[in-house]
């Protein structure tokens, strides 16, 4: 039986016979995916000055990463790398959209990041970017007093860790 599911991190809906292991839009793990009628999604968050600063920084991280991945998808010399970087670019753009909603912005500003032609160089850059994102999201989760933001930051640590593993597997 097909059901309607909703990711409690990005708010997007998914139709399927079962919830996916990861949100097909933002990559959140299955524990954040509920039947739509039970999902609790709220982007109307009262931000402290520190939370606002961290959300703004997070938006910048995700815009930068999405831009880099989309560049790499078009430039890399490896066919699988093109597919991987395009998928990562879409996920990072969805993460930027989460922060856009939290910050109540009309749109996400464009990014313009450079990338490489050699796939291995893009994988190394991906690894560095994901490592920095994980470190920042862990710090931001610990600093936040808001349960919704803590949950988003923690979910993004898990998602970016998945991305880190993808680059690590390919750099072996």
Q: How do residues 161-172 score in pLDDT, each as one tens digit? A: 999 999 999 999
Return the CATH fold of 49-171: Ferritin (1.20.1260)
- Model pTM above 0.85: yes
Distances (CA, A) of 130 to 1, 42, 111, 122, 141: 37, 26, 17, 12, 16
- Tens-place pLDDT, residues 127-158: 999 999 999 999 999 999 999 999 999 999 99
């Amino acid at each position: 039986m097909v059901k309607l599911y909703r990711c409690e991190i990005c708010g997007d809906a998914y139709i399927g016979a079962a919830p996916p292991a990861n949100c097909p839009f933002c990559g959140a793990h299955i524990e954040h995916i509920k039947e739509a009628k039970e999902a609790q999604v709220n982007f109307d968050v009262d931000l402290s000055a520190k939370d606002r600063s961290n959300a703004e920084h997070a938006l910048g991280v995700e815009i930068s990463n999405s831009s880099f991945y989309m560049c790499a998808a078009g430039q890399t010399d490896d066919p699988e790398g093109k597919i991987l970087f395009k998928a990562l670019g879409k996920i990072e753009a969805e993460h930027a959209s989460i922060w856009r909603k939290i910050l109540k912005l009309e749109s996400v500003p464009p990014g313009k990041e450079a990338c490489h032609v050699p796939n291995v160089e893009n994988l190394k850059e991906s690894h560095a970017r994901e490592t920095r994102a994980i470190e920042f999201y862990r710090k931001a989760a610990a600093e936040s007093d808001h349960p919704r933001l803590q949950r988003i930051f923690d979910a993004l640590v898990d998602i970016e860790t998945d991305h880190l593993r993808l680059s690590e597997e390919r750099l072996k």
